[in-house]
Amino acid sequence: MTLSVNAISLAARLSGVSAALQPGQITAICGPNGAGKSTLLSVLAGLLVVDSGTVQIGDDTLNDLPPKVRARRIGYLPQNGEAAWDVAVRNVVALGRMPHGDMAERPVDAALEALNLTALSDRPMSRLSGGERARTFLARVLAGQPQWILADEPLAALDIAHQLALIGHLKREALSGTGVVLVLHDLSLAMNHADRVLVLGNGALAADGAPQNALDTGVIERVWGVSTEWLGKPGERALIARPPGP
């Protein structure tokens, strides 16, 4: 079922944004600092209420759903998550089962495995690196087996090998029908791995479409104010930014 926003506005943060996101795809949300990416993701997760416009999942208005039902449908990973208590990795990941009210071990084991955390599952959170912590929080989302995975900069703290492994995993999730929405600053990752890109500028939608269109150098110049060039072949593109002239 689609996850859609229709003409949503929120104070000075979002203005008239409409988009119907499709399951089975990776949608990237890109844009400069302060453009409204995290705000939009929080709205899509039902955590922020808009001033006007509607947010729907399938035919349901998102905020009409009981919180537990919403949490079973949408798994949300905030930017810079923190663990409230210093518990073991496995216990944090198992919290992902809370919306289901069960302690099913298989999805927890699968999420640990997917994020390469099995060997660390008994390790307390305080004894992890930043990237290992980030992977643990994402594993918690995966353990909930949501219909939608919304993640704010999930790749930022990861090394290149773990980035690729995680993207591979999210692609498999999308192939099995899960909707995946990622806030990404790295435009090359968005270009190479997203099916669709929403570009936000100053709280409004500046582009929406296939990555090669939405992240065209003209859009980047207009929205980020930077002159760029894409190098490489499709699927392996790298973005070169030209420093401003003297």
Ligand X SMILES: Nc1ncnc2c1ncn2[C@@H]1O[C@H](COP(=O)(O)OP(=O)(O)OP(=O)(O)O)[C@@H](O)[C@H]1O
Give the footprint of ligand X on residues 32-71 (CB under 6 A).
33-39
Residue 34 vs 234, nearer CB to ligand X = 34
User: Please, which residue, 6 or 38, has the CB nearer to ligand X?
Assistant: 38
| Smallest separation, CB 183 to ligand X (Å) | 6
- Residue 225 makes contact with ligand X by CB under 6 A: no
Rounded Cα distance between 135 and 114, Å, is 10
By CB under 6 A, residue 201 contacts ligand X: no
The stretch near ligand X (CB under 6 A) out of 31-39, 58-66, 82-90, 207-215 is: 31-39
Q: Segment near ligand X (CB under 6 A), from 26-34, 105-113, 129-137, 140-148?
A: 26-34
Burial per residue of 218-240, b for 16 or more beta-carbon CB atoms within 10 angstroms, e otherwise = ebbeebbeeebebeeeeeebebe
Which residue, 26 or 35, is less far from ligand X as judged by CB?
A: 35
Q: Do 3 and 179 meet the contact criterion of CB atoms below 8 Å apart?
A: yes
Please tell me whether residue 15 binds ligand X under the rule CB under 6 A: no
Span of 18-26, 30-38, 116-124, 127-135 interacting with ligand X by CB under 6 A: 30-38
For residue 234, state whether it binds ligand X (rule: CB under 6 A). no
* 144 makes contact with ligand X (CB under 6 A): no
Minimal distance in Å, beta carbon 37 to ligand X?
4
**Shortest distance, position 41 Cβ to ligand X, whole Å:** 8
DSSP string, the chain: --EEEEEEEETTTEEEEEEEEPTTSEEEEE-STTSSHHHHHHHHTTSS--SEEEEEETTEEGGGS-HHHHHHHEEEE-TT---SS--BHHHHHHGGGGGGT---HHHHHHHHHHTT-GGGTTSBGGGS-HHHHHHHHHHHHHHT--SEEEEESTTTTS-HHHHHHHHHHHHHHHHTT-EEEEE-S-HHHHHHH-SEEEEEETTEEEEEESHHHHT-HHHHHHHH--EEEEESSTTS-EEEEEPPP-
Taking the C-alpha atoms of 33, 37, 39 and 45 in order, what is their torsion angle to the nearest 10 degrees? -150
75 touches ligand X (CB under 6 A) = no
Candidate residues 4, 8, 30, 31; the one interacting with ligand X per rule CB under 6 A: 31
Rounded to the nearest whole angstrom, what is the least distance from the CB of residue 242 to ligand X in the complex? 22
- Give 107 or 224: the residue with its C-beta nearer to ligand X: 224
Name the residue nearer to ligand X (CB basis): 37 or 196.
Answer: 37
Q: In angstroms, give the least distance from the CB of 89 to ligand X.
A: 26
Sites of contact with ligand X (CB under 6 A): 13, 31, 33-39
